[in-house]
Structure formats: C-alpha cells, structure tokens
Structure 1
Amino acid sequence: MSEHAGRRDPHLAVKREVLVRYLDVWTPAALRSHRGATYVESGDPDFVVDAFRVFGEFADRLDRHHLDVVIVGAAVDPAVLRELGEPPAGLSVRSVADPENLAVAGPMLAHLDVVEDSALTEPDVWRLVASLARGKAHEVLLTVPAAEQATDHRSRLGAVGLAYVVTVELVADDGRAQLLVFATGDTRHLATFKDELWAADEFAGIRYRDPRDAERTLVDISLTPHLGPLRRALLAELARRGSCTVADLQQHALFETIYRPADAIGALTSAASAGAITREPEKGRLTPRTTVGHREDHRQR
C-alpha cells in the first residue's frame, strides 16, 4: 500500500477516481498511435500508482506499442514502483527534474496536480502546459487552487491550442474547494471526460460547482445530476440568441458548462413544461432538431 493510501481527503478520492476512469478510456485509444504515446505525471504518489495499475490492464496492447511515462519535478520513489511489480513490455518510465525542454511523442495526456504533494508550483505548471499542449492529440488534466480566475484558465489553454475546456470546482462539505481543469483539442474527448466526471463516486463527500454559475449552486455527483445551473445557463444563452435548435444548446452545454449534451434535453424539457421557452413543434419529445425560443414575458421563480 502507498504511504498515502490511508488518507481520507475527499478531494483526493474524487480526483483519483476521475483520473482512473479517464485513463481507462484514454489508454487503449492512445496506444493505437504508431508513434507511441506519452503520459506525464506530477503530484501525489498515489496518482502514479493508480496510473500504473490502469496501464497494467492493457499489458497485451503495450506489448505491441509503446507508452512513455514521465514523472516531472521529482524522481520516482522506487518503493512506489516496487509495489506494482515488473512493468509490462512497452512501458518505459523516466523522471525529469527540469521539465523546461521536455519532449513527448504521440498522443499525450499530462496530469498535473499542484494541490497535493507536487514539486511544481502553479506558475511551473502553466509554463509546462504551454510547452506540452502544442501538438496533435495533446491533453491536460490539472488541479489548481480554486480561484475566481477560472475564465483566465480557459483563455490560457485556448491560446496554446486546447480549445475545449471544462473547469469544475470540487467542493468538500467543509467548504474547501479545488479547481479541476480538463482541456483538449478534441470535442469527443471533452464529452468522454464529462461522462467520467459525472460517473465518479457520489458518496465521496464532494459536490461540484460550475465556476461560471453566478448563483454558485453546489451539485451532488450523480449520473442524473440536478440541472438548475444548466437550465439557467441555457435560458441565458437562448435569451441572447432569440431562438435556435436544441442541438445548438446541447453544444453550448458541452463547451460552456460542466454538464453533458444529453443533460440539455432534460433542462429544456423542464423549461418548456414551465412555459419558460417556446418550441416548434409544440408537442412531442424534444429532439436535437426541435427549435426553441426565448419567451420574454416569462419570469423565472
């Protein structure tokens, strides 16, 4: 067992589960690349253990491909790796004390957490992201202290080619919050990450909060989450547009909120039932082709 395994910090528990869930999807897809793939890690040793356990599940694929694991900012504790046994063929591990000129090959996922036991500061992480992000199929999963500059984080990531970003606050029962940031250049991977985000353990003592939600509503982790913040966001976007298709608002949910496109159907169905929006056709289930419109005389309660 890792020396950190006894910790019960709910933030760490949720971050570990989200990382493992996404790695389960990312790893087999990345290993299809003929160039090999790269996983970059910094932070709590438990993350290293979790990642290696996932990679071990794909030992048969690693035998025919290559995955380079890079630990940045500090050397890998040999005791941590000994717990996991002999690494499968095709998996290499290296430590980089100074990531200034770190080179990566193939699809790359960088998991960088400056809240846990990281040797990197937040400025270090942003410099590293800027150098790593410029490349095809490069993605980052970050955890930084919660702050009001989440919009600035999105701008920074967009400037280095990671156009699709979700930022979500992880808020513990005692009010302590951390900001989880995922950024990619692939809309499908953004949708996949959100699926895994909402599939995390709902009993872990953490709730989500959208940094863009003016009412700062806390939402329980669930496959069928409370949709109040999403409904407000979609009604505000619909007021801006006047009218659009449900598909347009599903895209807005994907790109601009912590929710999934499928959640938009539920939020808009509720809004239509309450008379908050118009719809065409007037009856039947909402579909991506349904046109919805802003109703100016409706007052939200």
Structure 2
Amino acid sequence: MNNVIAVFDCSSKGEGASIALALLKGTQFRVRVITEYFSMLDTQLQQKSHQLERREIDWNNLGSIENAIRDAYGCFLKTKTDFSKPNSMEDEMHRGKLVADACKRTGISHLVFSTQLHTKLATGIVVRHMVAKAMTEEYIRNLALPLTSIIVPVCYEDFIECYKPLRSPLTGFYEILIPMGLTPLDMVSREDVGHIVAQIFQNRPQFLHQTVSLSGDKLTMKQVADYLSRSLQPIKVVHRQITTDEFSRTCGLDGASDLASMFNFLLRVDQRHWTNSTRNIYPPVKSFQDWVTNNRNMLRNMF
C-alpha cells in the first residue's frame, strides 16, 4: 500500500499545516504538501522540507491537481474562502469539486474533508464559507468517495489572530469583541486538529463514512477572558458584549458580514460538537486553559 497522504491548506494558519506536522511525527505515512506556491507554506513545514514531498498546482486545472495527488493513499482537504472576491462561494466550491474529481479519478483510498453545516438549509442564514463547504461535501458524497468529514469549530489560535482582543483607549483593558453573549462556543487547538486527523487516517475502518465534530472546550467569551486575565496578569482581558450587526460594522476583517452571520447562526443552533468523543480519539486534547498555560509567554508578547 502506498502510504502517502496528500495535504491541502498548508499555509501558516491552515488546518493542513497542523495535520502535515502531526503526520510527520509518526512513521505510518509520508506527507505530500499540495500548494499553489511553495512560498505560502507554513514556516515550520518549510523548515522540514527535507521530510516532505511537495507539489505545486494550478487550481483551475484538473490535470494539475490529479497529477499532484496521483499514487497517494489518502488526502486531506479544506477549501479556502477568499472573501475579497465577489464570487467567493462559487470559487471555493469549484476548487473543492476539482479536488473531489481528482480523488475519484486517481482512486484515493481515504479522503478527510473539513466541512461545516449548511446554514441556509438549517436556519435560512447564508454564511458563504460554511455553505460552500457543506455543498462541496454533498458533491463528494454523490461521487461515493471513501470519506470522513470533520467539523472544526473556532480555534484557540484565532484569539491571537482574527479575533485578537483589542485594547480599549478608555480603560486600558483588552476587549474580546465576539457577539456570542452568554452562549458558550465550541473551540479547539489547531495543533490538536492535526493529531486528531492523524488518528483518523491511522484508523480508517473506524472513521470511514463518519462525520466527526471536534471540540477541545466549550466556553462563554467571559470565561475565555477570565482565563486569559488570570494567566497573563497584570494584563486584563474582558468580554464586551456587542451585537452581530456591530461586529459586522466594526471588526474590519474581510468577510465581516459572513463572520457576523456565522455567529448569528451559532447563537441559534447548537452544532453538538462533542468534547468527550474528541478526547476518545485523542486523549491529550487541550482545554483552552491548558493552551493558555502552555503558550503564556507567547501570549504576553502578543498584547
């Protein structure tokens, strides 16, 4: 059996990077990173380039993608949303379908796809990056590919990236501006996502044709702020409650309206991520408090 896993989404903030790094720690699989440009690879992966197979692809060319994954045993895919493009949802689905078609044509034995719920069907709320993944998953299932789907919630790392607390000029406190009110939010470490997916590839019969909803912790934003404050003293972090409309107007991120709609959806629908079942797959999965403690020095330097 060929033991190569082809991994997409290997940029510095991509799930694929954590999966490639986790697979490299084992001996069962070799890793082939798939990217449009090698310069986009995660820094840690660039440092381990001697351990990797690497393939560049043309995202608009099925033959290019097919050649990149040819002879691989498995494939990890998370489609990327480019909110700067007006047709981001259609472009994302197009790319996902091309990879699915390539997997079908090359006979991939196990595809792990990072999906999301179809927000429009569930509630009528359109969240483009979530709908695109749900519709891509449907396409993959219609091809009868050997599939495991994972649903990844907000990652702990997002609190130092897109959802980093902002310093209030009035109080000097750092404010978490996520419109979840008192509703707890599932979350997980991106590093642990890599280890969990590695377990899924290593135990194909157990996870084939299953959907796995991941969660390392489930916390309100006040609890998140309290954990950060206790660990990073004298830095003070608070949660300032805002509406989804306020978030959409003020967050300054590409896709702000979609992210606001995502939080609106999460306020209405419990996605039923299971912390216990996640720990059954990978017992060392970190709680948010664990992650903060392990990264205290790095977090201090971020504020």
TM (normalized to structure 1)?
Answer: 0.41
| Greater relative contact order (Cα < 8 A, sep 6+) | 2
Structure with the higher strand share, 1 or 2:
1
TM-score after normalising by structure 2: 0.41
Bigger radius of gyration, 1 or 2?
A: 1
Give the helix-richer structure, 1 or 2.
2
